[in-house]
């Protein structure tokens, strides 16, 4: 069950703020009874506004955003800058997975819980590509360790990387830029992996998830994910699931 103002937003009837005003004015009925603010209901309940029955239509929405630093992926913490607030859409939206507050790059934002669960499920097989700037010159031995899998402080050993490339080495600054492709996403995994080989991450950016790319989007910019892209992502997940059977 959800608060009625949230259902009105999810059901594309009006924004949550507009719904709250309607409820406070005593203009909303649920199952033939006038409700007060805070009332919870289900999508299949009977809703009326000004004694006229309305039908809520759940429209699935998918966005791709280039997350800036300083934004959190949680919807609950309203004291900090939230990723979802960058999307100009009154619907209730949430991020698929999370990026650390200081990590930039691609994040999927949606209202489709089923799609989100498919992507976040362990073993979904969706690859994620990152560009990592670190404070040391990455040697061939370091690269090999990362590629094969690293045992973290927690005792967990990461899966072998799908791809790794040292894109740039700056000997004057003693820094390297590394491109990595993972099929998993433990909390702070990349930072922890480098930490275990004595390297500190300076900057971390995600540039691709599955078939979705950032292209030239500036920080804070976003676009809608097409229905074709959503279906392609689902096909990738289903294919990975079949391969594991």
| Distance of alpha carbon 151 from alpha carbon 153, whole angstroms | 7
Active site residue 89: no
SS3 88: coil
Question: Any residues with CB less than 8 A from the CB of 174 and at least 6 apart, and which?
Answer: 135, 136, 137
| Distance of alpha carbon 66 from alpha carbon 216, whole angstroms | 10
| Distance of alpha carbon 182 from alpha carbon 85, whole angstroms | 28
Spot the catalytic one: 32, 100, 112, 216: 100
User: Which of 43, 37, 10, 40 lies closest to 21, judged by CA?
Assistant: 37
Contact 206, 191 (CB under 8 A): no
Residues with a catalytic annotation lie at: 100
């Amino acid at each position: 069950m959800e608060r009625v103002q949230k259902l009105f937003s999810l059901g594309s009837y009006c924004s949550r703020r507009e719904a709250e005003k309607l409820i406070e004015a005593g203009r909303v009925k649920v199952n033939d009874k006038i409700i007060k603010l805070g009332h919870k209901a289900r999508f299949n309940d009977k809703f009326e506004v000004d004694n006229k029955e309305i039908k809520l239509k759940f429209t699935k929405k998918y966005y791709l955003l280039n997350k800036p630093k300083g934004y959190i992926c949680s919807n609950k913490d309203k004291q900090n800058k939230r990723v979802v607030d960058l999307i100009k859409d009154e619907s209730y939206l949430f991020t698929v997975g999370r990026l650390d507050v200081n990590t930039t790059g691609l994040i999927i934002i949606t209202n489709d819980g089923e799609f989100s669960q498919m992507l976040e499920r362990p073993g979904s097989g969706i690859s994620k590509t990152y560009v990592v700037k670190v404070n040391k010159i990455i040697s061939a031995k370091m690269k090999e360790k990362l590629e094969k899998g690293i045992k973290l402080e927690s005792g967990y050993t990461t899966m072998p990387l799908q791809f790794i490339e040292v894109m740039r080495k700056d000997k004057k600054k003693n820094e390297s830029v590394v491109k990595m492709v993972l099929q998993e996403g433990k909390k702070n995994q990349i930072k922890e992996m480098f930490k275990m080989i004595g390297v500190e991450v300076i900057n971390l950016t995600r540039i691709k998830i599955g078939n979705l790319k950032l292209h030239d989007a500036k920080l804070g910019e976003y676009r809608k994910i097409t229905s074709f892209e959503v279906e392609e992502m689902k096909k990738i997940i289903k294919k990975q699931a079949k391969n594991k059977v």
